[in-house]
């Protein structure tokens, strides 16, 4: 059982709305694939309450019409055991748990999945664990098929930990370098360059903290747009009485996928809170203008991306 603060429930609540509509919208396809790169614990609890809620794998397993192929990646051994139990005995679904690091296992696992199938990937790390090479492998998996048949690439819903980057890079350049944090950020973006300039501007006071935080997110969205996705959506996750912790980014080639996720993301939601009788209405700020044009507002030019090799 893993304990979560109320805002973590929001992701699950959005996913729970999205997945059954995704499978209904794709019900004529022979197969439907769900990939959970950070599958988590099957049992979850809102901290300080007795309110349990399912993890993302259970939501995917229960969506109707069903996903035909499901892959759950998880590093933690206890959680792997719980997931194996959850996924076992499903006669109409090929559901498997992949123990270990999703960044190392993804490319191999993708090879055995049908490229024609509508495919949804949930990438939900705790922090900075998701590597760009995994995003690239997912976006390339169906690319050739999608180009040949005017189809769609793998749809992804990604947690981008805005507060994690700000915290990790911090205000002490020397200390961050000593701890090899820049390498971690480079693996997340799959490249060096623009984010380093933003960090430098933050350290020198050229950028305010909130602007640097947004810039990292927009840079990541630029990287995703560079993979050729037709639609990008972003949804900040803001705890009650707090600042944005992370943002959920959705990328798809499907106009239907975009409108279903817009509906799910924009729906009013509540955050369960310990010690209160009623759930609090969430206090999310909207991203006015997604990410285009933001570079023009910077007081300096950004360098070109330099891919991690």
Ligand X SMILES: C[S@@+](CC[C@H](N)C(=O)[O-])C[C@H]1O[C@@H](n2cnc3c(N)ncnc32)[C@H](O)[C@@H]1O
- Strand pairing class (280-281; 33-36): unpaired
Among 9, 18, 22, 38, binds ligand X (CB under 6 A): 38
| Residues 91-130, mask of contacts with ligand X (x by CB under 6 A) | ----------xxx--------------------xxx--x-
From the CA atom positions of the chain, what is the Rg in Å?
19
7 touches ligand X by CB under 6 A: no
| CA gap 144, 156 in Å, rounded | 17
Total residue length of the chain: 309
User: Which tokens hold the place of 13?
Assistant: 């609540």
Q: Give one DSSP letter per residue of 212-271, joined into a string.
A: HHHHHHHHHHHHHHTTT-SEEEEEEE--TTS---EEEEEEES-HHHHHHHHHHHHS--EE
Binding mask 125-144 for ligand X (x = CB under 6 A): xx--x---------------
Q: Tell me the two tokens of residue 240.
A: 């009650």
Q: Report in angstroms the alpha-carbon separations of 297 from 153, 243, 247.
A: 32, 22, 21
Q: Write down the least CB distance from residue 99 to ligand X, Å.
A: 9
Quote the least distance from Cβ 219 to ligand X, whole Å: 22
Query: 60 to 79, contacts with ligand X by CB under 6 A?
Result: 73-76, 79
Given 23, 26, 56, 162, the residue binding ligand X (CB under 6 A): 56
Nearer to ligand X, 13 or 116 (CB): 13
Q: Which is nearer to ligand X, 138 or 146 (CB)?
A: 138
Residues that bind ligand X (CB under 6 A): 11-12, 36, 38-40, 55-56, 73-76, 79, 101-103, 124-126, 129
């Amino acid at each position: 059982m893993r304990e979560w603060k109320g805002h973590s429930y929001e992701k699950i609540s959005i996913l729970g709305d999205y997945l059954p509509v995704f499978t209904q919208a794709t019900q004529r396809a022979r197969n439907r694939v769900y990939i959970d790169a950070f599958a988590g614990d099957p049992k979850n609890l809102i901290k300080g309450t007795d309110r349990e809620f399912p993890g993302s794998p259970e939501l995917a397993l229960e969506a109707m019409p069903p996903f035909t192929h499901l892959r759950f990646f998880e590093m933690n051994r206890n959680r792997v055991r719980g997931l194996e139990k959850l996924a076992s005995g499903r006669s109409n679904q090929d559901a498997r748990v992949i123990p270990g690091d999703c960044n190392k296992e993804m490319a191999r696992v993708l090879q055995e999945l049908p490229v024609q199938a509508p495919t949804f990937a949930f990438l939900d790390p705790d922090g900075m664990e998701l590597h760009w090479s995994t995003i690239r492998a997912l976006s390339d998996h169906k690319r050739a098929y999608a180009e040949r048949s005017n189809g769609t690439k793998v749809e992804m819903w990604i947690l981008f930990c805005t507060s994690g980057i700000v915290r990790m890079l911090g205000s002490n350049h020397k200390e961050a370098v000593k701890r090899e944090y820049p390498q971690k950020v480079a693996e997340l973006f799959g490249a060096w360059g623009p984010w380093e300039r933003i960090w430098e501007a933050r350290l020198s006071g050229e950028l305010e903290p909130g602007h640097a935080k947004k810039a990292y997110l927009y840079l990541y969205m630029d990287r995703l747009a560079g993979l050729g996705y037709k639609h990008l959506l972003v949804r900040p996750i803001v705890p009650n009485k707090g600042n944005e912790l992370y943002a959920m980014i959705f990328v798809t080639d499907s106009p239907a996928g975009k409108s279903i996720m817009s509906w799910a993301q924009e729906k009013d939601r509540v955050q369960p809170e310990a010690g209160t009788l009623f759930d609090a209405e969430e206090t999310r700020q909207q991203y006015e203008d997604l990410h285009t044009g933001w570079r023009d507002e910077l007081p300096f030019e950004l360098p070109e991306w330099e891919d991690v090799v």
